[in-house]
Amino acid sequence: MKYPLGKKPNNKKEKIVNYSNRGMDLESDINITNEYYRSIEKAFIYKKPTPIQVVKVDYSKSKKITEAYFKESSTTDYNGIYKGKYIDFEAKVTNTLSFPLKNIKNHQITHLIKIKENGGISFIIVRFEKKQENYLLETEKLEQILNDDIKTIKLDFFKNNGYLIPIKYKERIDYLEIIDKLYGDIL
C-alpha cells in the first residue's frame, strides 16, 4: 500500500491537525462573520488565540515549538468593539436538544457577568447542531436560569428567552442584528 508521504502512518497517536471542513463549524462561521463586519468597518471583534503553555522551543529550526500544552482560557473566546460598546461572548455547540451547562466553565460565566455589570454587552451563542439553529442568549437570562440549579438548558428556554440568529450570505451568523434590536437605543 502506498501512503501519500511515502511512509506508513506511525502508531504513536501523533495526529496532524486537520483543518479541512472547518467551514462547517460554528467557530469558522463566527470568524467569517467577524471578518465581514471588519471589512465593512461595522465592528472589530476577534476570536482570542487558544492559550498554549510553551515548554520547549527548537531555535535551530525557525523557532519550532517541540513541547507545549493547551491551557484553559481565563476569559471567553470573543471580544471587541461595536459602535463604541465593548462586546464579549462565548460560543458553544450542542448535539442534543438541550445545552449542558458543563460545556461552559464557571469562571467564564463569572466573566460574562462582570462585563455586563461594568457596562459591556455580553452573551452566549449556542448552536443546536440537529436543528441547524443558532441562538443568542443574554448574560442576564443565563443568570436567571442558573438560579434554578439545573444541569442543562432546554432548547425551549432559548426559543422563549433568547434570539434566533439570522443566517445570511456574507455575515454568516448576523448576531449584531440581534444586538441592534436589543440595544439599539443606546448604540
**Per CB under 8 A, 105 contacts a second copy:** no
**Per CB under 8 A, 107 contacts a second copy:** no
The answer to whether 161 and 153 have CB atoms below 8 angstroms apart is no
**Per CB under 8 A, 21 contacts a second copy:** no
Number of residues that bind a second copy (CB under 8 A): 50
Strands 121-128 and 85-94: parallel
Residues 119-148 touching a second copy, rule: CB under 8 A, are 119-120
78 versus 157: smaller Cβ distance to a second copy: 78
Q: What are phi and psi of 82, to 5 degrees?
A: -140, 120
List the one residue from 27, 28, 32, 83 that touches a second copy (CB under 8 A). Answer: 83
Q: Is the dihedral of CA 27, 87, 136, 186 positive or negative?
A: negative
List the one residue from 9, 22, 58, 180 that touches a second copy (CB under 8 A). Answer: 58
| CA 187 – CA 184 distance, rounded (Å) | 5
Strands 52-58 and 43-47: unpaired
**Per CB under 8 A, 84 contacts a second copy:** yes
List the one residue from 9, 22, 25, 54 that touches a second copy (CB under 8 A). Answer: 54
List the one residue from 9, 22, 81, 164 that touches a second copy (CB under 8 A). Answer: 81
Ranges of H-type helices in 40-184: 106-117, 139-146, 155-161, 175-183
- Residues 6 or more apart whose CB falls under 8 angstroms from that of 105 comprise 72
Contact footprint for a second copy (CB under 8 A): 12-17, 41, 43-44, 46, 48-52, 54-60, 62-71, 73-75, 79-86, 88, 111, 114-115, 118-120
